[in-house]
Structure 1
């Protein structure tokens, strides 16, 4: 009887295992303010010149140089206009996202250039 109970516990515990998608984080850019990563395996061509991808931004404390915040973004990028919009931040959908210019933000410029390079 004990063996049967043990086998059932093992079987039911294995059902709860979640198999997540592999994430291929690649550092794209770094400044004293933060580090920008791109999940290369997440790049999806939506339509001509528009891609969707997942990025990770780690904010760095400029005084201590320690990581103080991490955010995951799902972005759309228009490779023709070099504009972007964040459609999700940390799993929360942004239904009012508008196309934005990176305005010289090195981290955003580098993500746009890197991800549009092979589209």
Structure 2
């Protein structure tokens, strides 16, 4: 009898774990904000991913789509997790297409209108986030 109770307990625990694993994952809301397109391409940033880092900078998910090739074929875009230093107007890509970039260097926008617009828009939106 004692064996049956242990068996039923294990079976119940296994079923409970299976049910938990079958539940849909709850992802955060995605709120893509499109920046004005330039010759460099198109870029969006996700307002739902905007966060402060431990250093007080901003972190945001962005999507970049380069301009089509001359043959008119669309090119694949990339997803970036960017960290922005709004005070110095610098950025660094901490992940590209899901692959972390440890110790990524800080860079200026360097005249790239998309990056300038990105830094301005994200820094304005993140200015009211707690430090």
- State whether TM-score is above 0.5: yes
Deviations 1:52-93 (A, max 9, x none): 111000112153555311111001000000000000001000
Determine which structure has the larger helix proportion and give its number. Answer: 2
Aligned length: 108
**Corresponding residue number in structure 1 for 2:38:** 31
Q: Could you tell me how far apart the structure 2 residues matched to 1:102 and 1:65 are?
A: 27
Determine which structure has the larger strand proportion and give its number. Answer: 1
Query: TM-score, normalization: structure 1?
Result: 0.79
The answer as to whether partners of 1:72 and 1:90 remain within 8 angstroms in 2 is yes
Mind listing any 5+ residue stretches in structure 1 that lack a counterpart?
1-10
* 1:40 maps onto 2:50 in alignment: no
* 1:58 maps onto 2:65 in alignment: yes
Greater mean alpha carbon deviation, residues 109-118 or residues 26-35:
26-35
* 1:103 maps onto 2:110 in alignment: yes
Query: TM-score, normalization: structure 2?
Result: 0.72
State the 1:43 CA deviation.
1.0
